[in-house]
Structure 1
């Protein structure tokens, strides 16, 4: 495959994107789980907000996986893969609404850190397509974390 990025660099980028895919998918699952199970006075607001967020995350996993494939590597796609690759942990119970928000803020910040960690490899290889994808993901996750944090302010 000759796209102007050597195989070693493409592999390093694909490995970083695999971590991003795992974090994004884990955050998607957590957000969808919270959407189903949220209760309390903020139910309607959070139920709708979480739905919009998990819908966006579902589209994002496709973009990240397709970028990995564009680099000529296979995208991870099993729960086992995601557990190994993700920095985000699953919830072990159904938290209260405010704790759901806190967990999602932490999840979005984790995705931001993971996305940022891929930049050096993408920049070294002049992989503008991956850098563009990472920039878009950073903007979205930073904004979402801010919006969720705003709900916690008294």
Structure 2
């Protein structure tokens, strides 16, 4: 029998927060996979810049997955962990082709912005529940994704 969780957040709020974090985890995982795919397959005159930038971004995303999943667990709920479940929960679609470099950048801008939006949607519940650890995690994720979107977006300017 599981021990009751008494951390000052109601079970109902913990469930809502865990559900929101599950969407964040799914978006983050799909974006990780897409970014890694593009790192492997980018070509063209921006190859070196994009290859390096994509590696930096997918490495950061990979490291964030554990933080998000462990927060879901700390709230008392199982973290989703299958491709099938991630696809069901994510607002980002997978890419199974090899787009041109500029299209890769556009997709990654959209993906970075989508993850920021997902984090922001969960924030209202987290704030109301007085859940500072999750608020801190979400704030950090929004900052990273908004900055990444900006850095990618400037590469599309003429």
- Give TM-score scaled by structure 2 length: 0.96
Match of 2:71? 67
SS at match of 1:88: coil
Structure 1 residue 125 corresponds to structure 2 residue 133: no
Q: Which runs of 4+ in 1 moved over 2 A?
A: none
Which stretches in structure 1 are left out of the alignment for 5+ residues? none
Deviation at 1:120, TM superposition (A): 1.1
Match of 2:90? 86
Match of 1:42? 46
Cα deviation per residue 1:12-64 (whole Å; 9 max; x = unaligned)? Answer: 00000000000000000000000000000010110011000000000011110
Deviation at 1:92, TM superposition (A): 3.2
Count of residues in Structure 1 that have an aligned counterpart in Structure 2: 154
Structure 1 residue 137 corresponds to structure 2 residue 141: yes
Which stretches in structure 2 are left out of the alignment for 5+ residues? none
Match of 1:110? 114
- Give TM-score scaled by structure 1 length: 0.99
| Cα-Cα RMSD | 0.5
